[in-house]
Structure 1
Amino acid sequence: MHAFSDSTTATSTAVQVPPSLSLPVIEAAFPRRLHPYWPRLQDKTRAWLLQKRLMPADKVEEYADGLCYTDLMAGYYIGAPDDVLQAIADYSAWFFVWDDRHDRDIVHRRPAAWRRLRFRLHTALDSPEDHLHHEDPLVAAFADSVGRLFSFLPGTWNARFARHFHAVIEAYDQEFHNRMEGKVPTVEEYLELRRLTFAHSIWTDLLEPSVGMELPESVRKYPAYRRAALLSQEFAAWYNDLCSFPKEIAGDEVHNLGISLITHKGLTLEETIAEVRRRVEDCISDFLVAEREALEFAGLLADGTPRGAELGTAVRACVGNMRNWFSSVYWFHHESGRYRVDSWDDRSTPPYVNNEAAGEL
């Protein structure tokens, strides 16, 4: 398997990117690609959202394709077997719906509902097969998607994924309490929390089933590999902060790098946008260095043995997909209806959420 499979297709986009969010280096040096399975992926994830009752039928019909959740994953895990990509895409769609439920529980001040969901997710993560028919569709769909993800690699990978996602759930709980109390974390606190709420480790873990093998710890923790993985995720998190700034200010959010910079560093709005952009651009330039070093490492792994060849190929594929994440994230933010705040009737209420009913179970 090559870093970029022969079956991948380069794509172009006619979307106009606002100058304040434009990153010419991404458009020029990070070609956008989509997994060839993408059209079926979109159809199947839309059907899964309906089957699992994660969104009302009218919301799925009107908004699911325009939210572009499957585009994001199809642009990232290039070379993944179709069933692996489908499981990842369904899990990713679930993640966005969970994020929306979390947000609505905060907006409508439902701490009991959130606490109940938090504990149910922890339990379902440890035994997904026991929660496939849970009364809360969000829990049942989570169990379904996680159970499928657990079928691809050994139990050691499953345990690592579960450990990482338990930490994500707890980070969402911290964010819940911060928002309920109106507490804006410091920049340092925010950066640490953001790596968890954005699930840096999860999306990196999922590179492995995409290449069909669990990487040894010595490979995963090799400095250049870890740094390339981290920078790809940091770029995504901070670019998301830049793009979602209007949405989160409208929704009285407290979790955004820009909001922390304004609150704790005393920056003006203009200075804040410039600082977040600088961090985003530094991620790109630093990644290019780490990418080169990680690919050199892949070459060293290919030591002439069959195992070495397998590892070297897998690492090249994973690093190639880290690169794909930049363009996939970038275009997702300009194509997805998730960030078109100006078109919403209420800038604080996304039109694709089931605003009142969620969380009452």
Structure 2
Amino acid sequence: METKDLSSTILWDGTPLNSLIIPQLKLWERPRPYPLARNFHADSISEESYQWARERLQVSSYMDGKLRFNETNEYAAWAYPTAPPDLLRLICDANLWITVYDDVRDDQKYLAHKPTEATALHEMLSSYYSIEPKRVPDECLHNVRLRSIPELIERMRDQGFSNDQLVQFIDSVRMFGGSICSESQQDIEKRDLSLRDYIRERRADIGADFYANLSAMISGSYPGPSLQKHPIIVEMNTTLRDFALLHNDVMSLPKEMLSGSCDCAMRYLWLEKGMSVQDALYEVTDMALVAVDDFDNLCDLVELSDASPSDKRIMHHYAAGLRWHFSALAYWSCKTRRYRMDGIEIKFVTPIAKGPDKYGLRPRVAHLNDTWRSRPPDTGRSSTSGDARPAMTPGNRGGR
């Protein structure tokens, strides 16, 4: 791969890139450890998947080498450790698709094509289950990246995924594609956002829903359309998005700076609070850990919630699947050569947040906590909900 010049790259606060320390996390060493395991079938499946990308996505030799060098399929191996071989192969293919799409989008040479491609993706997915099918745009027929989505959807159907599950998957891909339009417009207009605005936009861009929906389908405990709207499920998804985007911003900073990009949470902390890049890296890492604490809190709230006993079982299974993703994000990102490079120092930090959500990114979690932990034991609770737990405080947060 290409040699990267770190010493001549200067950050927005005047700091040389090679002087930074990148904090990293081991969520499996928390007081309430997150699970970590690799799929047994990953080695035999991975090569087949890379070959699929060469043939079906028509990736260049350079992109093929990049995908392999970065061990892109290892994320799927750690995020879906219980998937059987045929399903893991489908997941690896989908993971390569979203990675290739994201990398091409990030390439400044393709800036002018991004809005057109994203619009075509929207139109194709919007018409896929339409009562009155619309004409598929020519862009979809000629663009191999877009043309591969219907193939992946049909393979999911062959795996036994229901229409509800497929629609949810399509919605998650549509949201990811829609972020391309928004980000392209932002690139063009050079808009300045607040930290909270930035995080709100990145929640769609990070693609976490794409992976979470696959996890739910694999677990066999898929929250149906109505349960997907339950506030605990909604906020669980939000905490995963926030951890993914914040942790990704920290880990990918060297890569993004070398590609000429600097739109990340650390930059907004510098703009709003005057933090140095190094201090902002530690601050954003703590913000990511607060999201993990909030997820732990939500897991505890399941038994205190108004959900039925059967829905609670589904919610617990769903949460168990998401925990694999938290661990996989932390583990893979500190191992992959996509982010890790010679000349950049890394440091593992204690995987416990220093305090609550002081930036108010997830106010609904605090509201749910106050509401359900303060309810009397006999007020609308199922007989299986168990005893009430003590209220959460900054010194008594989930996972501490």
Bin of the TM-score, shorter chain as denominator length: 0.7 to 0.9
1:86 and 1:314 map into 2 onto residues whose CA distance is: 25
- Indicate conservation of the 8 Å contact 1:132/1:143, yes or no: no
Normalised to the residue count of structure 1, the TM-score between the two structures is 0.76
Q: CA deviation at 1:289?
A: 2.0
Q: Secondary structure at the match of 1:205?
A: helix
Distance 1:153 1:280, change over 3 A: same
Q: Identify the range of structure 1 (277-286 vs 198-207) with the bigger mean alpha-carbon deviation.
A: 198-207
- Indicate conservation of the 8 Å contact 2:176/2:204, yes or no: yes
Correspondence 1:179 to 2:187:
yes
1:160 and 1:282 map into 2 onto residues whose CA distance is: 27
Residue by residue, what CA displacement relative to the aligned partner does 1:98-147 show, whole Å, maximum 9, x if unpaired? 0111112xx12642x22331233223323499799933221222332233
The one-letter amino acid of 2:145's match is L
Q: CA deviation at 1:229?
A: 3.1
1:1-361 aligned at under 5 Å gives the runs 20-27=22-29, 29-57=33-61, 59-60=63-64, 62-104=65-107, 107-108=108-109, 110-111=111-112, 113-125=113-125, 126-127=127-128, 134-151=141-158, 152-212=160-220, 214-294=222-302, 296=303, 301-302=308-309, 308=310, 314-340=314-340
1:109 and 1:217 map into 2 onto residues whose CA distance is: 36
Residue by residue, what CA displacement relative to the aligned partner does 1:32-72 show, whole Å, maximum 9, x if unpaired? 11222212231221121112144224642x34333222221
2:322 and 2:152 map into 1 onto residues whose CA distance is: 23
Q: Secondary structure at the match of 1:339?
A: coil
Q: How high is the sequence identity, in percent, across the aligned residues?
A: 17
Query: Please, what is the CA RMSD of the aligned residues?
Result: 3.2
1:74 and 1:275 map into 2 onto residues whose CA distance is: 29
Q: CA deviation at 1:312?
A: 5.6
Distance 1:163 1:290, change over 3 A: same
- Indicate conservation of the 8 Å contact 2:70/2:336, yes or no: yes
Distance 1:263 1:179, change over 3 A: farther
Q: CA deviation at 1:255?
A: 2.9
1:257 and 1:44 map into 2 onto residues whose CA distance is: 36
1:41 and 1:102 map into 2 onto residues whose CA distance is: 27
Residue by residue, what CA displacement relative to the aligned partner does 1:253-297 show, whole Å, maximum 9, x if unpaired? 243111222234432223312320220121222222222333x37
Q: CA deviation at 1:251?
A: 2.7
Q: CA deviation at 1:95?
A: 0.6
1:186 and 1:202 map into 2 onto residues whose CA distance is: 26
- Indicate conservation of the 8 Å contact 2:228/2:234, yes or no: yes
1:263 and 1:279 map into 2 onto residues whose CA distance is: 17
Q: CA deviation at 1:27?
A: 4.0
Distance 1:257 1:83, change over 3 A: same
Q: Identify the range of structure 1 (42-51 vs 115-124) with the bigger mean alpha-carbon deviation.
A: 115-124
Residue by residue, what CA displacement relative to the aligned partner does 1:216-236 show, whole Å, maximum 9, x if unpaired? 344323333333332233212
Q: CA deviation at 1:165?
A: 2.6
Q: Secondary structure at the match of 2:40?
A: coil
- Indicate conservation of the 8 Å contact 2:76/2:91, yes or no: yes
Structure 2: which 5+ residue stretches go unaligned?
1-19, 345-400
The one-letter amino acid of 1:198's match is I
2:110 and 2:61 map into 1 onto residues whose CA distance is: 26
Distance 1:225 1:110, change over 3 A: closer
1:348 alignment partner in structure 2: none
The one-letter amino acid of 2:338's match is R
Distance 1:323 1:208, change over 3 A: closer
Q: Which has the higher helix share?
A: 1
Matched residue pairs, number? 315
Q: CA deviation at 1:97?
A: 0.5
- Indicate conservation of the 8 Å contact 2:34/2:324, yes or no: yes
Q: CA deviation at 1:298?
A: 10
Distance 1:103 1:279, change over 3 A: same
Q: CA deviation at 1:243?
A: 0.8
1:14 alignment partner in structure 2: none
- Indicate conservation of the 8 Å contact 2:57/2:97, yes or no: no
Distance 1:173 1:323, change over 3 A: same
Higher radius of gyration, 1 or 2: 2
Normalised to the residue count of structure 2, the TM-score between the two structures is 0.69
2:197 and 2:247 map into 1 onto residues whose CA distance is: 18
